[in-house]
Amino acid sequence: MAQFTCERKLDFLNPNQKQKLSRRFRSSHEKIMPHELAVFLGVKLSQADAILIALDSAGLCNMRLLIFHTCAEAHMSSINFGIGFPPLPWKCPECGQTIDNYDDMSFDMVALVPEPVEFI
Ligand SMILES: [Zn+2]
């Protein structure tokens, strides 16, 4: 099991929250979204983002940027997080519309966790 040291970057986490995180990241191949993690831990969304981005930087998870179009509730595609937004124009694979500004799109993140992580 990989270990992640929370001090400095994630110093807002208390011991109880670290325990909860370790439980949440106990199984392999988890998919975790920031808003879900924020509710689970009782932290701000920006703090949940910070946890997942810190894990991604440490190579302990793989962050993906989910791309949504207004035509559907489900995400249409995903790209690696950290390379920016998808280049425009973007063609929606669902409705076929060619989109030339980001107003008709929305984005979310998901962390794919390949192996269990213990937060210490
Ligand atoms: Zn569409």
Residue pLDDT, tens place only, 29-51: 889 999 999 999 999 999 999 99
Q: Is the confidence at residue 9, as pLDDT, over 90?
A: no
State the pLDDT confidence band at 1, using cuts at 50, 70 and 90. Answer: confident
DSSP 106: E
For residue 25, how many other CB atoms are within 10 A of its CB? 25
Helical packing angle, 34-41 and 45-57, nearest 10°: 120
Distance 85 CA to ligand 1 centre (A): 17
DSSP 101: S
pLDDT more than 90, % of the chain: 88
- Domain boundaries of the chain, sorted by first residue: 2-119
State the pLDDT confidence band at 74, using cuts at 50, 70 and 90. Answer: very high
Distance 19 CA to ligand 1 centre (A): 40
Distance 84 CA to ligand 1 centre (A): 20
Q: How far apart are CA 120 and CA 7, in angstroms?
A: 8
State the pLDDT confidence band at 28, using cuts at 50, 70 and 90. Answer: confident
Distance 105 CA to ligand 1 centre (A): 9
Model pTM score: 0.83
Query: What is the per-residue pLDDT across 81-102, written as a single tens digit (0 to 9) for each?
Result: 988 899 999 999 999 999 999 9
Distance 65 CA to ligand 1 centre (A): 17
